[in-house]
Amino acid sequence: MKHVLITGATGFIGGHLAKRFLARGDKVRAIVRPGNTNAKMLASEGIEVIRGDIRQYKHVERVMAGIDIVVHCAAVVTDWAAKKEYVEVTVGGTRNICKAATKANVERLVYISTNDVFGRSEKTVIDEAHPKRRWREPYPDYKIKAEAVCWLYRKEQRIPLTIVYPCWVYGANDYTFVADLADAIIKKEMLFWRKDPLIWPTYIENLVDLIVLVSEDERAIGNGYLAHDGESVTLQHFCEKIADALDVPPVTRQIPYPFAYAFAVLLETLYTVLRRKSRPLLTTYIVKNLRSRLRFSIDKARQELGWQPAIPFEEGFERTMDWLKSVDPDKLKTK
């Protein structure tokens, strides 16, 4: 039995991780910000909930006591937030986790990054050796900075670090990717601005399998691993499958990329001038992300760790649609 600390346990990935570690018989602890209404749900599942803020080192140091494994999922996961939040939560929170984990002499720190940190080059198949490339967008660029903090602690303090780079994560309770697409499809707000951009779906249970594996396998220390289901699909096909599952008309509208990008810039400018906190209908990050034909390899995890996505995309998608059809359409959009 291990004592596991999960940051971001009230989120999509962290929530699934907590359940998996609990199912193994491990003791799971979560640091949850005061006021978060999901804390009671975590506690009811047998998770030790400690109120705290990863922006405060004294809070992080307190919850780290007696911990064997840390899985750091917490970050600002939207592309529309104040710069201060990215600096304090994504980067500063990661620094606090690394510092406290080093002091507590944990057995493993697993940092959940993103495939976005490798940039937008379509010229080659991207693997873990690919250099980090900025997007000039806050979410991926601050994740790059947070990862740099992790590697610094690995280099200087020899912290037992492993980094996981998920691609497009989906599954039950996914209110970030699938729910947003479904909401746009239902409201007929979805459109395309490039023919057949690629997405690399990562079913949540496949990702959790890898994270649990690297949390214990000694070969994973000092390494990073990309994760996806082993295949790509086009954005159009993915949206068609969602529309079909929900029995709504498929998306057919397409506009030129420059128009989409210009419209996103206009919306972001207006929201900034008007000081609106809600997220614009379209952002430059989304426009860039939903037009790419990037390619990602998961050969490293397969060859070094023997990891293989256990659930194929079609099965993972079907399970996700079963969940999606149970959600009130008015509650799909949360950001």
- Domain of 139, CATH number, reads 3.40.50.720
Give the single-character DSSP code of 80: S
The CA–CA distances, whole Å, from 289 to 145, 162, 198, 312, 333 equal 19, 26, 10, 23, 19
Cα–Cα distance, 216 to 241 (Å, whole number): 36
280 belongs to a structural domain: no
Is residue 189 a part of any domain in this protein? no
Q: What is the pLDDT along the chain (335 residues), one digit of tens a residue?
A: 999 999 999 999 999 999 999 999 999 999 999 888 888 888 889 999 999 999 999 999 999 999 999 999 999 999 999 999 999 999 999 999 999 999 999 999 999 999 999 999 999 999 999 999 999 999 999 999 999 999 999 999 999 999 999 999 999 999 989 999 999 999 999 999 999 999 999 999 999 999 999 999 999 999 999 999 999 999 999 999 999 999 999 999 999 999 999 999 999 999 999 988 888 989 999 999 999 999 999 999 999 999 999 999 999 999 999 999 998 887 777 66
4 beta partners: 28, 69
Residue 107 lies inside a defined structural domain of this protein: yes
Residue 46 lies in a domain: yes
Domain annotation covers residue 333: no
Q: Is residue 39 part of a domain?
A: yes
CB 165 within 8 A of CB 128: yes
Domain-located, residue 15: yes
Residue-range definition of the domain harbouring residue 123: 3-172+199-235+295-311
Name the domain count of the chain.
Answer: 1
* 47 in any annotated domain: yes
